[in-house]
Structure formats: structure tokens, C-alpha cells
Chains A and B, each alone.
Chain A
Amino acid sequence: MPIKDTRFTRENGRVLMLGNEAIVRGCLEAGVSYVSQYPGTPTSDIGEYFHQILDSEPEMHKYLVHHWAVNEAVASSSCAGAAWTGVRALNPMKHVGLNVASDALSVIALNGPKPGGLVTVVGSDPGSLGSHQEQNERFYAWMFHLPTIEPHTPQECKDWIKLAFEISEKYDLVVNFRTSTRSAHSRGFVNLEPIIKGKEKGEFIRNIPKFNSLPPHAINNHIRLYERIEQLRKDIPELGFNTEFAGTNKIGIITSGMPFGYTMEALEQLGLRDVPVLKLGMIYPLNYEQIIKFLQALEKVVVIEELEPFLEMDIARIAHEHKIQVEVLGEKYFPKYNEFSTGLVATCLAKIYGKHPNDQMMKAIDYFNSYKDIVPSRFPTFCAGCPERATLYAILKATNHLDNTVICGDIGCYVMSFFPPQECSDLIICMSGGISAAIGMSTKTDQKVLAMIGDSTFFHTGMAPLAEAVGYDSNFLLIIFENSWTAMTGHQDDVLRYLSKSGFSIEKICRSIGVQWLRVEDSYNPKKLIKSIDEALNSKGLKVIIVKRECALQANRWRMSQIRSLETQGKRVQDVSYFIGGCQMCYECARILSCPAIRRVETDGIEEMQIDQDRCVKCGVCYEICPNGAIRKSVINALEGVEVPFREL
């Protein structure tokens, strides 16, 4: 949207920013000089802002490097490598990305980032708003001793990420900055401070015990890690992360991050202005004196946090160890799943404090419940023209609707395959989990096994299981979607884009690994694709089909810009459109292809399908597959106009 966005360049002022934008601004004010990440909601846009800044201020390349890494473990180690030359490195990832990065971070945390600083931004996702699960990755903080900061507002995002770098350098600790889908994508005012240029160059200074955590250094570094974390624990009150709201009520509250906001508004709604509230900005480690002092005045303390009890366990432990007579409440009243809201917190607190939630809210819930069943579902689905949708259509046709077939899904846009009406995915595990599951499954069943993976996921962790499948000559079909983008997270470049410039391709990788049965197909030619899938599933051993077709969103943007530029040059362009006439209502396009640009309409009691011209991207797949020839193609300016097809990959 921005034409000229000065929020990342101006020296001062007060601007509106999303949490993620504020994190990037804070990094610029902290002089960050290396960023590496694999895109993942809700942290993907952090990298996009860095890219925008580098594009608009080319001289910044000297001070700031941003890499889209192939996966999170690579990103974390890259950041460590940069930090160990004495610069500040930022490592954003989504919560499940931390599982991938954990192998690297477990060691990096032990060694410590000094002489540089290393801050991870981990985007959690209570409510699973943009992820396949809502794991509570806060427990990694205990496992690896990652000091963990939880911001609430964009101002805190900006101010605290700067502090995170200072702490990381001062205490030689990897600091984790934990956001959530909500804090990352909520906008508020941010007061800016001057930008500092990142270090252009650093230098690695040899230190074998610090950087080689093997026996005997492993134990020594572990001891050293405790010393570092305990020093930080003592200093917490001076850092200014934690705030106390005084009150005389004997039931107090400890909370952090987004639940703090819900809590304050819930208390106001319940008319409870006397409740002591301790807002923790740093959730690990906890300063014992600060917690003890807060608990001592109370009979009960309510810990308000989303997902599994993390703070609650630590606070109960502190109360127990210091023999404080206080009842610790939390999971008994609050759900351990899903995202919180002001309404939910108010309802739970009403029970604890013996109050009634307000009338307006209760009536709103009741009235909503009285009609919500008439609201039809609207889950995310493949865009109009999506080559993955067309491939699922081909799979359904080739297997007679998955008869005697198991389809192993994966993470990417095709994660949506399980949604009706296509329901073309039997299982999903994690990045590249589909190929791996197929390896094991195909040894134990005579069903036909099919796995799917996208190009970005293939580079992330897909090549290793493919090599294993070749090694064991596994009996399944792998479909690789090559659409040339990390599409699901908002079209970041993937590494293929750079590799293809030097003539490299997924096809060549597969051949080099040793794949014998290999075809390259186009999902806009569904009949040929169906034939190939059918042949593959009736052959023994490992088969790979690469479906090569650019993401329709990007392809359509490119085509529209070509058309606009030709038209401004005064050239005539062929105007292709598809329309339906004589529809037999066989539902082939609506139930098996299920393109969102097609709608069912009723005119004078007669039902038929129609194509929404403003949504159709003219991929022509419905025209190819209509069994009754009812979908027609019209080309205006057919003779004199220039044809603008989709670009080839």
C-alpha cells in the first residue's frame, strides 16, 4: 500500500505501526546488521519490511544483510555465524519453526552469542489462526535457557527488541522475543528514536572452548549458561520490563503479552479497579524478589496466560519454595487451548471474583448463538486458477476419488487440500512429513500411496527424505508443486529463484538424487496430467511428477501488468473470457474442481453455473474439463490483438 513510507527512515516522530513493523524499526534503531529467516506466519512480514527498506535505500546493503533461508535451522546457525563476528543478528520464525531451529539453538544458546548479539523473534499462534497447530513453544525457554520477552503493544515491540539486543550482548545469551499472531498484527502508536547503522564488518576471534560445545567444554558451557541466566535473573527489576498496578484486593493477577490487554478491559467491565496486577514483560527468567513481594500481600493469585500453564508452574514453584501462603489459580478457570479474548477473560474472572459479566456482552453472546447456525462455512481455499487445485482435480480423477489410495499432505498452500469439497489429503504432519510418512506407509500397505510437496518445502527439508525414498526404492508417487514462490506465507522468493538463474532445477535435483521415473507436467493440461498420475500409480517403485506452473496470483498480476503496459502503448490485446451456456448441472466444475470463480445461480427456478468475470483469471482449466462442453471460450480481438499468455517457468 505505501507509496512513500518514511516510517522506517525518519529519525523521530510518532507513527502508527503493526507489531512486526515496530520490531523492524527497533532493529534499525539497534543497529542490526544481519537477519536470516524462513518465512512463517506471523513473522513473514518482518523480512518483507527489511526487503522494502533495502530496495528503497540501496546504500543500506552495506550495513544490513537479509536472507530468506531454506529452513529455520539454517537461519539460526547463519545468525550465530554472523553474531560470532561481533555484530547484531535477528532470527525470526514461527512457533513450529522453533522445532526445526531447536537443534541449532540448543547449542548456540549454550555457547552464547558474544561477541555479538542474537535475538530470535518467535511468533506464537494461540487459536491456530495461521498455522497447523498451536503448540506452546514457551517451554523451550526452560529447556535452552532463552530469556523470553513478551511485548503487548507496538511501542513495546520497538523499545524491547532494542533492549533484547543489549541483554543478549551483555549477558552472552540468546534472547527470545515472543510475539503472537495478535501482537504481530495489531497496530498502535510508536514513538521513534534515531536509527543506528549496523556494523559493516566484524571479525571472528578463535575461542575453542566457547564455540566447540563438546566434552569437556559442553559441561563448562552449561555451568557458564547457569551463571549468565542467574545474573540476568537478579538484574530484571532494573530492566523495566515488568510493571505493577497497585490495588487492595486480596486476589491479584499476574499476566503478560496480549492477555494483559484482555485482563485490564475485563477488570474494567467487571468494575474491579482495586485488583493488583503484575504485568510481566519478561516471562523467563523470573526475578524471585519481585514475584515474592507481589504474592506476599495476597490470598490468591490468578495467572492469566494462553495455552499450557507456563508462568503458573513457575510462580507456584516460587511460592512453594519460599513458603508463601497463596493459592495459585489459572488452568482451573481458564482453557488451555485456543486464543483468549476480553469476553472470555471477563467470564472466567467473574467466577473468581463473584461478579456478573455485563448485560450487553451476555445478550450479544445469546443473540449470536440464536442465529449462528445459518452462517455458511467459509474456510480458506485455493485461489481461482490455482495450479494446485487443478492438480488435486487430476488426482481425484486418476484415482476414482482416492479409491484404495492414501494421500500424504504437507505444509504449503496445499495444506488446504483436506477441506471439502475436494478433501484430497489424508494426513499432515510437518514440513516434508508427507514424503517421510509415505516411505514408512508404503512398506506396510498395498494401497496406492501418494505424497505432495511444494518447491519451497522441498528445499526446506524435502530433499533428504526424497534421497531416502530413492535409496529404499519406496513404492509411492511424489507430486512436487513447482510454482516458483513461497506462496502460502505471502510470496517470498525461494532459493529456486536464484538457483534457476544458473540453470539449476528441481528436475535436475531429482535426477541427480537418482529418481528414475520422472515426469514434468502442467496442471493447466489436466487430461495429460491425469494420464501421468494414473500410469505412475500403476507402476512399482518411486515415481515423481513435477507439476510446473506459476502461482496463479502472481501469474495473473504479471499478466495484467503486461496487458496494461501493452494497452498504454496503444496496442490491441486479445481479451479472453470463459462463459457457461447449456449447463447440465453435473457439478464437475463445482464439486471436483471447485473453482471459487464459479457460482451457482437460480434464474426463474432454473439452476445453472456461472463464471464471475471479475474473479476468473482465465486459466482455462474448467473449459478443459467440462464433460458437456458447456464452458465456452470467447476471444475478442482474436485476429488483430496480441496474445498475452501466462509466463512459462
Chain B
Amino acid sequence: MYFKETDIINIVIAGTAGQGVITLKRLIEFAAQKAGIERAFGSEMHGLAQREGAITSHTRYQKQVFEDERRNLQSPLICYGDADLYICFEPVEALRRGIYASGKTTFVINDRTIPGVMITAGFERYPSIEEIKETLEGYRNGVYFMNATQVSLDHFKHNQQVNLIMLGFAIATGKIHFIEMKHYEEVIKEWLRDPELNIKAMHLGFEEGKKVIGSCDS
């Protein structure tokens, strides 16, 4: 789909507390500034949303604003059905706030599950990955899975790079319009400790992501 510079880009990032949702959101927004984006407005969750809870953040930007303010980005929340891209750190979290998705939405999902205490206690059921995939198929504009946690563990021996791997995976969809790889690299160098490691993780996610997307789309 072709995007005009005045179009509003809408990205949902979903995961659970402590997975790096907010860091990823900041990186995209700061990179958007490097790319010369004129307006950005997006919401994130602090406070009670931590403590193992579900976290959703909304990233929104507009490369070029209209003269008429009525047509511009005004809310930090995406309207139901209006998300272009979902970046999900946990499979079931893709569905929890699925109301922002529609036929135009592309999903990138880390398929490592975090079941939650009610599942472990045997009081609730975690849907099977097949069930989740089948449900997301209803959206029809690309649903891609990668075990980003495993990729992080394999390459870095810990799970701390999952968010940068997911960023690379998301970039590979081509859905984060107007922002280029060099913009992310600049931001990572300015804002993150150990930038080399983080840039490496992002590129790894990008390469792995291209493979996943290529094999799904062919």
C-alpha cells in the first residue's frame, strides 16, 4: 500500500511488563524525529501496568502535517481498526488489544508464550498457537511469527535483546514508513548502553525477519 507523507502511521506495541515495550516505543519515536517527521503523538503505560501486567503502547506519527488542523494527528491513541502494524512480544497479547487491528494490519509476533499465574494455576486456558494463528488469519495482511526470545538466547545468552530483535523484525515488514535503518542506528548510539550489541540485535532481527516474511509470502 502506498503511503502519502500526510498519512498518519499507527503502530501498536503489545507485550507484558518488563519486556521492553516502552523502550522500543521510544526508539521508534526518536528515530522518527531523526527522519524529519513533523508530528508524533503516542501513549504509553506506566504504573499499575507493570507487575507482570499486559502493556500496550501506541506510536503515531505524521511525516507532514496539513494546514487544516482538523485533518492532523490529534490523539495519542489509535482508533479501533486503524493500526498499520502490531509488534507483539507475546502471542496472546496480539489478541488482547486486537480491537485496533483490521484488514490493513500487519503483525509481527514473538511466539514465546508467557502464560500468567491463572494459567499455571490451572484456572484458565492459554489458547494454542494454532488457535491464535487461525484467529489472526482473519486480518489478512500478513501475520509473521519468530521466536525472538530463542534468537536472543542463542546469540546473546540472555533474553535482554528481544526488543531490539523485534524492532528489526518490524522494520523488515516495511511498515514503519519514512524511517530508515540509519535513523535507528543514530538513536541507539545516543540513547542505549552498549549500542554495538543493540545494533547487532536489530540487524539480526531484520535478517531473520526477512527470512520469515519471505517464506510466508512466497
Is B79 located at the chain interface by the 8 A CB criterion? yes
> Would you give the shortest CB distance from B12 to chain A, in whole angstroms?
12
Interface contact A590-B121, CB-CB below 8 Å: yes
> Is A45 within 8 A of B191, CB to CB?
no
A620 at the interface (CB under 8 A from B): no
Could you say which of A18, A41, A367, A598 contacts B138, with CB atoms under 8 Å apart? A367
Which residues of chain A from 124 to 144 have any CB-CB distance to chain B below 8 Å in the complex?
129-131
Q: Is the CB of B99 within 8 A of A368?
A: yes
Q: How far is the CA of A258 from the CA of B76 in the complex (A)?
A: 9
Contact count band on B? 35 or more
Residue in chain A with minimal CB distance to B99: A368
Q: Which of B41-49, B164-172, B174-182, B206-214 participates in binding chain A?
A: B41-49
Among candidates B70, B122, B158, residue contacting A264 with C-beta atoms closer than 8 Å? B70
Inter-chain CA distance A598–B119, complex, in Å, is: 10
Which residues of chain B are within 8 angstroms of A342 by Cβ–Cβ distance? 75, 77-80
A493 CB, min distance to chain B CBs, angstroms:
18
The contact string, 1 if C-beta is below 8 Å from chain A, for chain B 176-197, is 0000000000000011110000
Given A268-B70, A380-B53, A587-B122, A341 and B116 contact (CB-CB distance below 8 Å):
no
Q: Residue-by-residue, is B55-96 near A (CB-CB < 8 Å gives 1, otherwise 0)?
A: 000000000000011110111111111100000000011011
Q: 9 additional contacts, CB 8 Å, given A374-B127, A591-B122?
A: A261-B74, A261-B75, A364-B102, A376-B92, A376-B126, A380-B51, A587-B122, A591-B123, A600-B119
Closest chain A residue to B126, Cβ basis: A376
Say which residue of B46, B80, B124, B159 sits within 8 Å of A343 (CB atoms): B80
User: In the assembly, what is the distance between CA of A2 and CA of B189, in Å?
Assistant: 11
* Cα–Cα distance between A544 and B93 once the two chains are bound (Å): 42
Contact call A361/B53, Cβ cutoff below 8 A: no
Whether B202 is near chain A, meaning CB under 8 Å from some CB there, is: no
Task: Return the chain B residue nearest A607 by Cβ.
Answer: B122
Docked-complex contact A265 and B79, CB < 8 angstroms: yes
Sample of 18 A–B contacts (CB below 8 Å): A3-B190, A16-B30, A41-B46, A42-B46, A188-B39, A266-B79, A267-B70, A341-B77, A361-B82, A365-B81, A374-B95, A375-B95, A376-B115, A380-B50, A421-B118, A587-B122, A590-B117, A614-B153
User: Across the interface, do A598 and B120 meet the contact criterion of CB distance under 8 Å?
Assistant: yes
B39 → A minimal CB distance (Å): 7
User: Which partner residue on chain B sits nearest A41 by CB separation?
Assistant: B47
B96/A614 in contact, CB under 8 A: no
Interface residues of A in 525-555 (CB under 8 A from B): none
Chain B interface residues toward A at CB < 8 A? 16-17, 23, 26, 29-30, 33, 39-54, 68-71, 73-82, 92-93, 95-96, 98-104, 115-127, 131, 135, 138, 153, 158-159, 190-193
A609: Cβ under 8 A from any B Cβ: yes
A202 at the interface (CB under 8 A from B): no
- A186 vs B54: C-alpha distance in the bound complex, in angstroms? 18
* B98 and A371 form a contact (CB under 8 A): yes
B18: min CB distance to chain A, Å: 9
Please name all residues of chain B whose beta carbon is closer than 8 Å to the beta carbon of A288 when the two chains form the complex: none
Give the docked Cα–Cα distance between A14 and B36 (Å). Answer: 11
Chain B's closest residue to A19 (CB) is B76
Q: Is the CB of A2 within 8 A of B191?
A: yes
Point out the residue from B75, B80, B117 that lies within 8 Å of A421, measured CB to CB: B117
| Contacts A41-B46, A609-B120; A371 near B26 (Cβ below 8 A) | no
Once the chains bind, are A265 and B74 in contact (CB under 8 Å)?
yes
Task: Tell me whether A365 and B50 are in contact (CB under 8 A).
Answer: no
Given A364-B101, A600-B119, are A16 and B95 also a contact pair (CB < 8 Å)?
no
